[in-house]
Amino acid sequence: MKDPAPEISVERRKVCLIDDEESIREIYTIGLTAEGFDVVSAVDGKAGLLCIRSERPDIILLDLQMPVQDGFDVLNALSADKDISRIPVIILSNTDNEEAFRKAGSFSVAFFFVKSLVNPRKVAGAIREVFTR
């Protein structure tokens, strides 16, 4: 039996995906768009912060290991800027050590997913959950 199509709302939620891997950006852009989200993306933390400030997304998907500025730099910048500090963040990273979990947990992170263990549909479900809390 096929899963029902995602509900299409009048207002589509905008997701900012910050990841240095082109294939991840492409897979998640396609998958999340199919799930009813608008997706903007950036290749590193510096470009991601510019994207967040210009696009004002509803939620951020953030990798931790990136060049230029990593995910923790982005989390620090988010928490220091009252204009963007309330945007929910979901970590989507292959960093799966306890120190990274603990460090990310010191910020307002809604979920922490290990990339290799999830897919766009599961992440879309988590995004929806964030907005129903």
- Summarised one tens digit per residue, pLDDT across range 56-110 is 999 999 999 999 999 999 999 999 999 999 999 999 999 878 888 888 888 989 9
Identify the H or E element spanning 40: strand 38-42
Residue 119 and residue 113: Cα distance in Å, rounded? Answer: 10
The answer, yes or no, to whether residue 22 has pLDDT greater than 50, is yes
Tell the burial category of 74 from Cβ atoms under 10 Å away from its Cβ (0-12, 13-18, 19+): buried
**Lowest mean pLDDT, pick from 4-8, 69-73, 129-133:** 4-8
Q: Is the pLDDT of residue 55 over 70?
A: yes
- Domains of the chain, earliest start first: 14-132 (3.40.50.2300)
